[in-house]
Chain A
Amino acid sequence: MNRMQKIAWFNLIVTSLALGLSIAAFGVAYFIFGLPTYRAAGGFGFIGIMGLSGLSPVLFRKDKSKVQFDERDTAIQRKAAIVAYSFFWLLFVAAAMTPWFILGPNGNITVNYLPWMVFGGMFTVMFLQSIVTLNEYGWKGKDNE
């Protein structure tokens, strides 16, 4: 596998783990321990695991002895970014407009919603970028890479 594939796999695992653990923790706190929703939502603290993706440049260092990136890699990265950000914008606008439509223009919403929008956006971008990158390169290693 090339460096970009490894980074994509790493990000995919990290984001999936973060979301999976968050939902599991919320479910356990809400359904098993019977905590109220706002307290059970603390389970989403596991979303902080996504911060590990910031380590990918350190974990997967560039090998300076050979060419790492050509036009094909650039095109793949560009396509992955375009797909990820297109979906991000759809979700971002939907997340911004939905409370406005439901609660009305004079309504109020908890300020906690704003950081969740940021985390949701980061998750969407990282997850989709990784999926598209792996889909374009192939999910497994190839001998010619």
Chain B
Amino acid sequence: MNTAGKERTMNRFQKIAWFNLAVITATILITSTAIAIEIRMRGYSTIGPCFVVILALLKATPFLFKKPQGQSGVVCDERDHFIRNRAASFAYTAFWYVLFLFCFLLWFIIGPENSVPTIALPLTAFGGALFIKTVASVAILVQYGWRDKGEKL
């Protein structure tokens, strides 16, 4: 592929999708490692779960990946909108299947007469939000291609 004289880079949405995936993966790895170490050392974990605060970085994307200002600044066209909408649509569809399966399998396994700890409910919402973010990011990267395609900013 001849790219001489052209700036080869990923577009803004690809960068955001990669960033989201990196933050989510890092959070899961760091938090699970911290919890595992803490449980091994003390038998219980209190500090480990606090590492989920890393996810706050997901809210920093508008500042980290600013829209280019200036005359050459077309950053989003119909194709980009289409890709983002399709990713969101796919993520929500997948989320419904997973939520449905999770809730009914838990109900089926535990039995209708039994109960679950209340902490399971916020964790379900939290896990659902993470799942949607992850699937939407992967869908965006799949549609654009995982690497740069010589798109110009």
Contacts and interface: CB of A to CB of B under 8 A. Distances in A.
Q: How large is the interface on A (under 10, 10 to 19, 20 to 34, 35 or more residues)?
A: 20 to 34
Given A96-B124, A97-B125, A109 B115 contact: yes
Contact of A118 (B85, B104, B119): B104
Interface of B: 85, 89, 92, 99-100, 102-104, 106-107, 110-112, 114-119, 121-122, 124-125, 128
Contacts of B115: 108-111
B118 A115 contact: no
B85 A78 contact: yes
B92 A115 contact: no
A51 to B, nearest CB: 13
Interface of A: 78, 81, 85, 92-93, 95-97, 99-100, 103-115, 117-118, 121
B103 A118 contact: yes
B107 A99 contact: no
Given A109-B118, A117-B121, 14 more contacts: A81-B92, A93-B125, A96-B121, A96-B122, A99-B118, A99-B121, A103-B118, A105-B117, A105-B119, A108-B117, A108-B118, A110-B116, A111-B112, A114-B104
B117 A106 contact: yes
B122 A100 contact: yes
A100 B104 contact: no
A142 B33 CA distance: 61
Nearest to B81: A78
